[in-house]
Structure 1
Amino acid sequence: MAHGPRYKMAFRRRREGKTDYRARYKMVETGKSRLVVRITTYHVISQIINVGMDGDETLVSAHSKQLQKMGWLGGTSNTAAAYLTGYLCGKRALKAGIEEAVLDIGLRPAIRGSKVFAALKGAVDAGLKVPHGESVLPDESRIRGEHIKEYAESLDEEERKKRFSRYLERGLSPEDLPEHFEEIKNRIDEEV
């Protein structure tokens, strides 16, 4: 006669909704480094991670807050910031001798054109080899912030000041976002 509970308790991170162990196992099985992209409320984090015997080892990391130190005046969690963070991570990975990785989006849904895929496009444009389908990547115009520029131009002055107060406080006109994006991208090329 068997004694004890008849159920098996799931791992803590599974219960908390933080880890899909089946997907993680498949990724770890490839033996390749993982390009881990995480989007928080205010920031984008992009890392190259290997699985080690004592847990995951972060080899290269880029955080959208680091973009501000390079002169970025836009938001740190928008699509443009996600791309630039991925681009910075990709450049740092190549400098560290890492040439390929597999994308790890965690528990985020794979939505075509999302910030996660903007970060992926940034890493790929930097030269990192990451298997992906072109259809999931956001449009170039969206990454550069052309839609924000068009929206800002459609508003009257009072509404523009209200909607883009943070941009204006930092000294960036929303109409200048595409040019500012290119400026920061070039700065990443120079510094890394």
Structure 2
Amino acid sequence: MKKSYLIHFKRRRKKKTNYKKRLAFLKSGKTRIVIRKSLSNISIQFINFKTKSDETIASANSIELKKMGWSKTGNIPAAYLTGLLAGKKARDKKIEEAILDLGVQTSTKSSRLYAALKGVLDSGIKVPHSEDILPKEDRIRGKHISGEIEKQFEDIKNKIVG
């Protein structure tokens, strides 16, 4: 008797991997910027495809900002600073351009994901994107949170860039 159903890969069933998108990314041959977020952190990795497994070239986590004096790791300014830090590490490894891989996360305009992308762009890495998805400069600087955070943001940004 013929099967009347199809069992998909485990990672697809659990909605962890979109294999159609992944194949398109891998066919491009470019470095991927993988951005993942949780409630309190954001993680950014620059990844190249290798036959055995993917190779992480550079990575940054918002927890690294605590060593620089930034205590709030789950907001938009922290995402931007993490993107800037990851971009700087990638530039040190001679990465010039990449493509954005958000995985199966919901893509929302002006979110932390795109604040992290803005940080990567400001570090000098070329990534194809649309300008209208990036958050406004006031939100990136933390003006919507408090004036104190805006000052602290500039100090941390200078530490990363400087």
1:185 aligned residue: 157
Q: CA deviation at 1:4?
A: 5.3
RMSD: 1.0
Matches within 5 A, 1:100-119: 100-119=97-116
Q: Cα deviations across residues 94-122 of structure 1 (Å, max 9, x unaligned)?
A: 00011110001111122110110000000
Structure 1 residue ranges without an equivalent (≥5): 150-174
Q: TM-score, normalised by structure 1?
A: 0.82
CA offset digits 1:45-70 (Å, max 9, x no partner): 01100111112111100000000011
**Displacement over 6 Å in runs of 4+:** none
| Structure richer in helix, relative to its length | 1
Q: Is 1:5 paired with 2:6? A: no
Letter in 2 for 1:55: S
Which among 85, 92, 96 is matched to residue 95 of structure 1? 92
Q: Secondary structure at the match of 2:160?
A: helix
Question: Do residues 146 (structure 1) and 155 (structure 2) align?
Answer: no
Structure 2 gaps of 5+ residues are none
Distance 2:5 2:144 in 1: 52
* Aligned counterparts of 1:120 and 1:79: Cα–Cα separation in 2: 11
TM-score by length of 2: 0.96
- Counterpart pick for 2:22 among 16, 21, 24: 24
Question: What is the CA–CA distance in structure 1 between the aligned matches of 2:106 and 2:136, rounded to whole Å?
Answer: 19
**1:123 equivalenced with 2:120 (yes/no):** yes
Rounded to whole Å, the distance in 2 between the matches of 1:189 and 1:148 is 23
Letter in 1 for 2:116: A
Larger radius of gyration: 1
Q: Distance in 2 between matches of 1:4 and 1:69?
A: 60
Aligned length: 162
2:60 is paired with a residue of what secondary structure? strand
